[in-house]
Amino acid sequence: MLRITAGEHRGCKLPVPEVRATRPLVERARLAMMDHLRLLLPGARVWDVYAGSGILGFEALSRGAAEVVAVERHPKAARQLLESAEVLGYQDRVQVLRLDARRFLATDPGPPDLVFFDPPYAAFRGPGRAEVWRLFRDLAAELRPGGAAVVHTPKGILNSAERQDLPGMEQRDYGTTSLYWWHAPE
């Protein structure tokens, strides 16, 4: 079970879908990330790409985000996302797209204020690394001015060339995990 850390549903516990690639961000890191983004959350339009359990989107909604577009290919995880949205009363504010994340931008989803990008760790360790990084850059390029994109990776995995793609990218480490966030210029 995952616990929402703050906002209107603080303390509410949500199940984790029984999907092997689902690796929810630890609570301490989620709390720190949401605190960092707190000024952007009220009224935000959020893309949660590789949504898994959906906890990042639900954390954002609990803190005042207006809507979440959750992209999750796995049917069990997508079904759990919809069930969790209903439990929280967010069924009208969460859109679940069951498709491969690489096809998401082709749906013309409209610009976001926040992007959460949480692909399986294997995507950063295998031959598809360049493609997954390019997808993150493409998603970040769609942000509204002043918005932010956050990527969850294995600790310290982004190299200097990747980080230079998005100047000003910040990194915070939590155990074996890193969060990198980038703010779009105003």
- 3-class DSSP assignment, residue 115: strand
* Angle between helices 75-88 and 55-62 in degrees, nearest 10: 20
Residues 147-159: pLDDT tens digits?
Answer: 999 999 999 999 9
Q: Which helix (H) or strand (E) holds 125?
A: helix 122-125
**Nearest 5°: phi and psi at 126?**
-110, -170
Low-confidence ranges of the chain (pLDDT < 70): 19-24
Domain that holds residue 83: 2-183
Residues 113-144: pLDDT tens digits?
Answer: 999 999 988 888 888 899 999 999 999 999 99
Report the distance separating Cα 114 and Cα 147, nearest Å.
6
Domain count, the chain: 1
| Sheet with strand 45-49: strands edge to edge | 94-97, 67-71, 45-49, 114-117, 148-154, 177-183, 170-174
Write the CATH number for 152.
3.40.50.150
